[in-house]
Structure 1
Amino acid sequence: MEDRLLQFARKSTGCTPRLGEEGGDAMNTERKHTQPKAQRPSQLRLSDDEVTLPPRLAHIQNLPWLDCYDQQLRTENKSENTRKTYLNGLRALVETPLPGEDILSASGLESMTVRTLANRLEPHSGRIDRWTHSMSELSPSTYNARLAAARHIIKWLGHRWPDHLVRARTGRKLPRTLSRRELTSVIEAANTSENAIASVVVTVLLDTGMRVSEICNLNLADLEMEGLHAKVLGGKGDKDRIVLFTQRTKECIDAYLPIRTSRLREDDQAFLLNSAGRRLQP
């Protein structure tokens, strides 16, 4: 009778009821066969199956990764120096071979697609670990800069950065500043230089604290001579700010303006012009 009831219950409910110790053992056996075994994070994506790209990269998956990633950095308003640092550091990561792999050629690196790169930089393959081990002799600051580039592209590809790869510890040091004697020597050297714009460049930099790239991008209209200040547009981090300067700097700028007028070849808005009449480059 119990056998008939058990068969009827299986047909009507699709499961095995617990009708005693024997029925419970049967159900436990069935669960053991159907329940999948959990995987540790280190066991994920170790098969030969291709990784899944995020939807935002689906339309560019067959394009060269260098151009696509550089465009991503531009979209994020990364400076030219940051883009160069990222791309140069990432080349070594992409070129790092795993045991049994052939050395990646320069043409292979250039032509590699986004999808191929995503598979090559799969975090659990061990490539990132081998790359970080190869940088053991670098200074902590250089190591961290390259690690930041790697974390950025791994996130862009839709991967998760391995938790065990962390930044190197760096000590906090006071910034190196020029002494009063050194400042005087720099100013005297600029004032006696044969370069006609050396004096105004050094004076403005020291007085305002602007970066070299910022003073090169400065336009004449950005200077407010009466208010003794200048507008820095699109500085580091694409931020705008106001910098102040002294009367001494104003006098130095006034002395430079006739030189600028003599060098002007076109209707150039640049504040600093080289001998060819073009905007001064960093």
Structure 2
Amino acid sequence: MPRASAGVVDDYERHLTLERGLSEHTVRAYLGDVVLLLAYLHGVPTTDGEEPSGVTTTLEDLDVAVLRSWLAAQHTSGAGRTTLARRAAAARTFTAWARRRGVLEKDPGARLVAPKPHRKLPGVLRLEQAEAALSASETGAGEQDPIALRDHALLELLYATGVRVSELCGLDLDDVDFERRVIRVLGKGNKERTVPFGQPAERAVRAWLTGGRRVLAVRREGAGGALFLGARGGRVDQRTVRRVVHDAVGSVPGATEMGPHGLRHSAATHLLEGGADLRSVQELLGHATLATTQLYTHVTVERLKAIHDRTHPRAR
């Protein structure tokens, strides 16, 4: 890639990280798509099998025709609708920024239209399956093993609050308010929100703090203020949490295989089925738009239809 374009990518990375405050994962995804676009523009082969444009051009030559040609090449190489929609969105975000910074005279991304991704209904646990997974976890924690206490506490808190796995791992001791029974969460875009939790989660977290965390904290000098710790005493990582959720749900017969995000889906679905309104669930989950939260209404409708088909005498 030409040095000038590489410098633009570096500036764009600083913009995403420092000015927009996006997470490391989001920044990496945006940059990956932009690098693919610029490699196509400059005629540089990529490792994902995408054919370059075949013409060496400068960044100033980036227009809507190049963007459309790039997406067409992506489609030819086997990219699905979801991938195409994501890469088109990344391109639009980049060209809008480039126009504001004076890198481009016009914003070609403003005229770019891409196929909308298919929105798949998330797999969720039935209420009795969630209760079975948490009950089994509580039984294991009853043996007072520090890891078992931690696992039960994080499962209860995940399900009670519906927070993202990254938000859970980022929690500090000071983020838990037992008196009000809420946690302070730092979500996407460094947006802070307060999320309540119930008595089962309170009991589990208190048991972890008194009977488990102190044991793991001594395994690393200066363990810090992390709420949940790994086996070696440092802050628990997302991979560990995914394994804990996967194992807990996997112990329930007939349950859908899932990780923390599935537990988040389940919590949202059960809230709506219990009578919570969409706006409240949106606030609890930290969704930027109500459209994201509305996806869960489709889940509850599908479940109601399935129950109706199984039980109503005139369903068939």
**TM-score scaled by structure 2?**
0.58
1:64 maps to 2:7: yes
1:79 maps to 2:23: yes
Quick check: 2:84–2:115 contact (8 Å CA) kept in 1? Answer: yes
**Structure 1 vs Structure 2: percent identity of aligned residues?**
26
| Structure 2 unaligned residues grouped into runs of 5+ | 48-56, 100-105, 239-316
1:278 is aligned with what amino acid? G
Give the Cα–Cα distance (whole angstroms) in 2 for the partners of residues 148 and 105 of structure 1: 20
- Any idea what SS the aligned residue of 1:96 has? helix
- Following TM superposition, by how much is the alpha carbon of 1:138 offset from its aligned partner in structure 2, in angstroms? 3.2
Quick check: 1:90–1:149 contact (8 Å CA) kept in 2? Answer: yes
Q: 1:180 to 1:97 in 2, by over 3 A?
A: same
Q: 2:176 aligns with which of 223, 229, 235?
A: 223
Show CA shifts across 1:232-273 (max 9, x none): 1x3123211111111111110111113111222316111011
**TM-score scaled by structure 1?**
0.64
- Following TM superposition, by how much is the alpha carbon of 1:212 offset from its aligned partner in structure 2, in angstroms? 0.6
Give the Cα–Cα distance (whole angstroms) in 1 for the partners of residues 27 and 136 of structure 2: 34
| Structure 1 unaligned residues grouped into runs of 5+ | 1-59, 107-115
- Any idea what SS the aligned residue of 2:74 has? coil
1:237 is aligned with what amino acid? G
Give the Cα–Cα distance (whole angstroms) in 2 for the partners of residues 243 and 237 of structure 1: 17
- Following TM superposition, by how much is the alpha carbon of 1:204 offset from its aligned partner in structure 2, in angstroms? 0.4
Q: 1:169 to 1:149 in 2, by over 3 A?
A: closer
Quick check: 1:228–1:250 contact (8 Å CA) kept in 2? Answer: yes
1:211 is aligned with what amino acid? R
Q: 1:189 to 1:119 in 2, by over 3 A?
A: farther
Q: 1:211 aligns with which of 143, 152, 164?
A: 164
Quick check: 2:41–2:58 contact (8 Å CA) kept in 1? Answer: no
Show CA shifts across 1:158-211 (max 9, x none): 241255521313456655422124313432554448843221111100011111
- Any idea what SS the aligned residue of 2:203 has? helix
Quick check: 1:78–1:237 contact (8 Å CA) kept in 2? Answer: yes
- Any idea what SS the aligned residue of 1:273 has? coil
Normalized per residue, the structure richer in helix is: 2
Give the Cα–Cα distance (whole angstroms) in 2 for the partners of residues 175 and 140 of structure 1: 18
- Following TM superposition, by how much is the alpha carbon of 1:86 offset from its aligned partner in structure 2, in angstroms? 0.8
- Following TM superposition, by how much is the alpha carbon of 1:62 offset from its aligned partner in structure 2, in angstroms? 8.2
- Any idea what SS the aligned residue of 1:69 has? helix
1:253 maps to 2:253: no
Quick check: 2:173–2:225 contact (8 Å CA) kept in 1? Answer: yes
Residue 227 of structure 2 aligns with which residue? 271
Q: 1:64 to 1:163 in 2, by over 3 A?
A: closer
1:154 is aligned with what amino acid? T
In angstroms, what is the RMSD of aligned CA positions?
2.9
Show CA shifts across 1:112-163 (max 9, x none): xxxx86335x115x43222100232433332221111111111222241255
Quick check: 2:176–2:184 contact (8 Å CA) kept in 1? Answer: yes
- Any idea what SS the aligned residue of 2:113 has? coil
Give the Cα–Cα distance (whole angstroms) in 1 for the partners of residues 45 and 11 of structure 2: 20
